[in-house]
Structure 1
Amino acid sequence: MNQTGRNGIYTIQQVSDVTGLSKQVIRKWEERYELVQPERLENGYRTYKEKDVNTLLRVKVLSEKGYSIKQAVDMLEKEPESVESFFKAKQLKFEKFNDSVIQLLEKGTYCDDLELNLILQQSYHKLGLEEFISKVIIPFLKEVGDRWERDEWGEYQEAVSSMSVRDFLIQIRKTFQLRDDAPLVIGACLPEEHHELPIHIILLQFMLRGWKTVLIGASPAPGAIESLVQKLKPSIVILSASTTLPFEKDPKLLRGLDKFASEQEQVEFYIGGSGALNYLEGKELNAIQVTNDIEQILV
């Protein structure tokens, strides 16, 4: 297996792993369109930089949207300063990856959980928690999900990558020091919801602002949320549903939670996640506020 790129330098195999482009396609784009100009080692092997990886990814996204490779290259060369605006205006999905994300994607391709953990550790200690979450964890998980949806990654690749991140975030939460009198927030997946990573991230963002946190993880038992709220009496409760499965399995679930929330006068309840937002479109709740914006909660 290739060693992880150091100081933002990658082999053609690593670039292929990260971009999903074959080595033959990468060479073809380089030779025919002069898209990237890799440096050569003494043995003739190509080496690529972080900007080369992102350039290849941009062209890949444009080609998937129907543009020819030459059109995509011309766009990048003639108006490089307006590329980001173009992507935004056309609603094209592109995430610029930094070195840490590129390394994680490479190791995730090979399901190398040891290397994934080492890269996560290095990035965390280098960046600090806030930037680690915003610049590494969120972009990486977003791309993992996208690759799963596009069938570029299999179930095992997605599972190993997601679980490595989850386990690392759990370690951070366990060792995070907070004041004894800090306010408490409970984060909970809904019953039948198994995607707990969004709640881990949200609770860490609360911890950065001085909050104690308690997590009710994947698919809690019916009544578990209500019982813990009554026992711990938090200031805030965050409910999460990345899918609509909780509402499909139990159409009365949200109505019951909303009624319970209305009876807790000292507790603010919020619900978020793509599944919740989709399900709640056009619906109204009495006591639970709907949002995907943590800043709105902490106002």
Structure 2
Amino acid sequence: MINDVKTKFSIKDLENLSGIKAHTIRIWEKRYSLFQPNRSDTNIRNYSLTSLQKILNISFLNNNGYKISKIANLEEEEIPILVREISENINKRTKAINDFKMSMFSFDQTLFDSTFNNLMIDYSFQEIFYSSIIPFLNDIGLLWQTGTITPAHEHFIVELIKQKILVSTERAFSNNIVKNDSRTYVLYLPDNEIHELGLLFMNYELTNKGFYSIYLGQSIPIDSLEYLTDFYNDITFVSCFTVKPEAENISDYLEELTRKVLKGTNNKLYLSGRRTQDIDTKNLNEKILIKGSIQGLLDNIELKT
């Protein structure tokens, strides 16, 4: 819906996006005339997409040693030029996160692609994901909680990130021969869980390291997992519980899964995600491993091989 597209931002939005306190932005605005906010009928400030881009650039310069007084003396068109020059030499990944934010707010796939491709010149896909994409996704979580972004923004950028993971996974699959097929990794999300970026990246990492993995994706019922046990003898199921199962249902879910796909087998279940905090680990089946992150699970997989 076009109404979901956000083109006006509060001073709190600018604070959330740039990391610069609203009080500081007001001082800079008054002392250096860096921004020209619009005002509503009730005299409340709101800022344009252009102002958002400017504050992100100013934040980048300020974090790289430029005093605000010096930035204020730059011509309007000099600021993005200086940002580009600095980003070519230092802190390229920090600049990339700002550009990812800008591509999200302006729905600019070209900017996203050029930023990503520029990172690929110097870094591997894994390095980009851990040092740029994950911090960016963490920022998205905060922006969502504070109402700074809309569903349109989130869906747009998440789909672009998915595309990069899928392309990298396909490339890894073509370039790598399965080195270890004694254990099968089955990656899935439980019913009504749709947050799959972490799981997609996990699938990429497994594929890139030569493991045999089956990616099932979103919203998979336990009965479908049970079906796979007829085909493979040693399965490590991998999942990420972000919003599902709900806290009151998670114990019942794990009990059913243990009964149907783990009990009496060599199978295991590896879990990460926010919802795992709701799991009572005191009586947890020894076949279930919980880690706080995808990286934690990957580290455990590498140790076990």
Q: 2:47 — aligned with what?
A: none
Equivalent residue runs for 1:125-144 within 5 Å: 125-144=121-140
Q: 1:82 — aligned with what?
A: none
User: Aligned in 2, Cα 1:220/1:206: closer, same or farther, shift over 3 Å?
Assistant: same
* Alpha-carbon distance between aligned partners in 2 of 1:36 and 1:261, rounded to the nearest angstrom: 63
Preserved contact between residue 186 and residue 234 of structure 1 (Cα < 8 Å): no
Q: 1:178 — aligned with what?
A: 176
Q: 1:224 — aligned with what?
A: 224
Q: What amino acid sits opposite 1:27 in the alignment?
A: W
Q: What amino acid sits opposite 2:71 in the alignment?
A: P
* Alpha-carbon distance between aligned partners in 2 of 1:206 and 1:98, rounded to the nearest angstrom: 27
User: Aligned in 2, Cα 1:254/1:128: closer, same or farther, shift over 3 Å?
Assistant: same
Structure 2 unpaired stretches of 5+: 1-13, 34-61
* Alpha-carbon distance between aligned partners in 2 of 1:194 and 1:137, rounded to the nearest angstrom: 18
Q: How big is the shift at 1:120? A: 2.6
User: What do the CA deviations read for 1:46-105 (whole angstroms, capped 9, x no partner)?
Assistant: 44649x99xxxxxxxxxxxxxxxxxxxxxxxxxxxxxxxxxxxxxxxxxx9612211111
Across the aligned residues of Structure 1 and Structure 2, the Cα RMSD in angstroms comes to 3.7
Q: How big is the shift at 1:112? A: 2.0
Q: 1:113 — aligned with what?
A: 109
Q: 1:263 — aligned with what?
A: 264
Equivalent residue runs for 1:247-262 within 5 Å: 248=248, 252-259=252-259, 260-262=261-263
User: Aligned in 2, Cα 1:280/1:196: closer, same or farther, shift over 3 Å?
Assistant: farther
* Alpha-carbon distance between aligned partners in 1 of 2:76 and 2:239, rounded to the nearest angstrom: 55
Equivalent residue runs for 1:26-41 within 5 Å: 27-28=28-29, 31=32, 35=68, 37-38=70-71
Preserved contact between residue 191 and residue 218 of structure 1 (Cα < 8 Å): yes
User: How many residues of Structure 1 are paired with residues of Structure 2 in the alignment?
Assistant: 242
Q: How big is the shift at 1:26? A: 7.6
* Alpha-carbon distance between aligned partners in 2 of 1:226 and 1:178, rounded to the nearest angstrom: 29
**Superposition TM-score, scaled by structure 1 size:** 0.67
**Superposition TM-score, scaled by structure 2 size:** 0.66
* Alpha-carbon distance between aligned partners in 1 of 2:232 and 2:165, rounded to the nearest angstrom: 23
Q: 1:206 — aligned with what?
A: 206
User: Aligned in 2, Cα 1:214/1:234: closer, same or farther, shift over 3 Å?
Assistant: farther
* Alpha-carbon distance between aligned partners in 2 of 1:98 and 1:172, rounded to the nearest angstrom: 22
* Alpha-carbon distance between aligned partners in 2 of 1:223 and 1:114, rounded to the nearest angstrom: 42
Q: How big is the shift at 1:135? A: 1.0
* Alpha-carbon distance between aligned partners in 2 of 1:41 and 1:281, rounded to the nearest angstrom: 57
